[in-house]
Structure 1
Amino acid sequence: MSEGGGLIAVTGVTGGIGGRVAARLEARGVRFRGVARDLSRVPAIAGLEAVQMGRDGYRDQAALTEALGGCETLLLVSAAEGEQRVVDHAHAIRAAADAGVARIVYTSFLGADPDASFTFAQDHYATEQLIRESGMAWTFLRDSQYLDFLPLLVGEDGVIRGPAGEGRCAWVARDDVADAAAAVLADPGAHDGKVYDLTGPEAHTLTWAAEQLSAVTGREITFKNQTVQGAYEARYPLDRPDWELDGWVTSYVAIGTGEMDVVSDAVSTLTGHAPVGLRDWLEANPEAWAQLKA
């Protein structure tokens, strides 16, 4: 039996957030529909109804409108990072409105603001504004940087490099984000108009994070601060588009400016359990850092 009433649509069910949320909704007995571009990649979840939204993703507005038909609430998992991400989101929001969806729960980013240092946070702010202007009810889940990605920041030489200085971040696990999202979706109307900052339990520097990685891997891992210009110059040989380079570099800048130095109790309040910290997460997920072992 559904806790929250009307049918819920969950996008991104083949991804790291949407798939986790889908599994939690099924466990709660919440009635929902998974929406994906590729049905062959939809996780095997008992009773999951999955529909295809079109191979062009959110830009296939007609197919997405049809997929959302009869749904009251949409969990809009942010599209893959890209130069036209806000355009993708605009199509999804219009599709939801055309389908008669009453509310959108959107996975945004901590500190979403037009003047945010992190360029992708600017995109999230623009998306939030489109949702506010749509006339639908809304809830924004503003995630901190994902704790799960920290091991991926380590270079082959065991060094994390970026212009973060002594800034702090309260990295959050995607499992905790999914728990919080499922709690909101279980009774979505109770969270209309709410903004939740989803963070880990404590904010720490990248120097501290490197020390924790060293302790579990048995290998010396360090953090080396860079200037913004130095960070760009070090990444130019990767031959990536400008928007991607900007996102990489400014994700560190946002830590260095203090914009990520936020610790919220939202995960605890919504889920009834404390968010996991980096050291506990590393010990529970050795596969995430196996490539870093000495």
Structure 2
Amino acid sequence: MPNDLPELAVTGATGALGGMVARLLAEADVPQRLLARHTARMPHLPNTPVFATSYADREHAERALQGVKTLFMVSAAENPYRAQDQRTFIDAAKEAGVQHVVYTSFMGAAPHDVFTLGRDHWDTEEYIKANGLKYTFLRNCFYQDILPSFAGRDGVIRGPAADGKFAPVARSDVARSAARILTFPREHEDRIYTLTGPQAITMEQVAKILSRVTGEDITYHAESLDEAVESRRRAGASDWQAVAWATSYAAIATGELSQVSDDVALLTGVAPLSFEDHLLREE
């Protein structure tokens, strides 16, 4: 493999976040290589080599990461094997000589997280550290971008969030934060950042903001955890998906996601978007 390839690798380059980060780095003339499962869907950026690989394919991942010093690792799509696949990819990164992993984790990641998928993030964080790699963990709250999809066809958001608050963040603010870190990675070694929007809101407030901006009648209906799991199962979700979906709301109810952080502003010099401002920008 040529030894003049960029020492920065960006994964998930065909996805929303990875693609945003790749474009921001290109605009700033930061050399990078892009990794994703399907190269045909990669962003077309000048002088940017691309590699096709997956987190579960250690052999191909190791070849794609040869010569990389800093790795932006976007968490894999949700699936029952995500934690193991990410361990496999970290093994490949270490063997390839990667020194620093910037990983997109989740707010409050912990071994007994109420949100079951948060436990995957904790496992990955710990595995990165256990392998002696430098790390930067971006623990973001839920993306503002996905909240409109929480409303059903009848305009009702259903879930066991009770009246708990959370501080959703715009994906674009996470991308700006990540690009800043990747431009000057050594300044952010062995750091954990919590990336949130500027305010904590309830799911009822989410519904009211959506109604105000879209002109549609959006409401929130609080369910119990058991009701939420069962409703998702009836809709065709597998057990792990149903539990993950329901516990994402339950984590809001507990207050685990209510912290408002100023890390986005500290990293980028620009305040993060509120949920309403994000929606207005998308209109």
Q: TM-score, normalised by structure 2?
A: 0.97
1:291 aligns with: none
Question: 1:18 offset after TM fit, Å?
Answer: 0.6
Structure 2 residue 211 is matched with structure 1 residue 214: yes
- What's the counterpart of residue 98 of structure 1? 95
Distance 1:232 1:64 in 2: 36
**Are 1:74 and 2:71 counterparts?**
yes
Residues 225, 246 of structure 2: 8 Å contact kept: yes
What pairs with 1:225-264 in structure 2 (closer than 5 Å)?
225-264=222-261
- 1:25 maps to amino acid: L
Partner of 2:183: 186
Q: What residue number does 1:39 align with?
A: 39
Letter in 1 for 2:12: G
Deviations 1:258-280 (A, max 9, x none): 00101101000001100001111
Per-residue deviation at 1:255? Answer: 0.2
Of residues 118-127 and 232-241 in structure 1, the stretch that sits farther from structure 2 once superposed is 232-241
Partner of 1:64: 61
Structure 1 counterpart SS, 2:221: strand
Counterpart Cα distance in 2 of 1:118 and 1:259: 10
Q: Distance in 1 between matches of 2:74 and 2:217?
A: 36
Aligned match of 2:136? 139
Give the partner amino acid of 2:108: G
In structure 1, how many angstroms separate the alpha carbons of the residues matched to 2:121 and 2:141?
12
**Pairing 1:171–2:165 present:** no
Deviations 1:125-171 (A, max 9, x none): 01100001011111100010010000000001110000001101110
Partners of 1:46 and 1:116 lie apart in 2 by 42
Q: Give 3-state SS (helix, strand or coil) of 1:17's partner.
A: helix
Secondary structure at the aligned position of 2:22 is classed as: helix
Aligned-pair identity (%): 44
Report the TM-score, using the length of structure 1 for normalisation: 0.93
Q: Which runs of 5+ in 1 are unaligned?
A: 1-5, 287-294
Q: Which residue in 1 is equivalent to 2:20?
A: 20
What are the Cα deviations for residues 40-88 of structure 1, in whole angstroms up to 9, with x where unaligned? Answer: 00012222221122xxx11110100000011110001100000010011
Matches of 2:47 and 2:21, distance apart in 1: 14
For structure 2, the residue ranges without an aligned partner over 5 or more in a row are: 1-5
Matches within 5 A, 1:196-211: 196-211=193-208
Give the length in aligned residue pairs: 278
Report the RMSD for the aligned CA atoms in angstroms: 0.9
Q: Distance in 2 between matches of 1:10 and 1:254?
A: 30
Residue 238 of structure 1, CA deviation: 1.6
The offset of 1:36, in angstroms, is 1.3
Distance 1:124 1:233 in 2: 25
The separation in 2 between residues aligned to 1:45 and 1:207, in whole angstroms, is 41
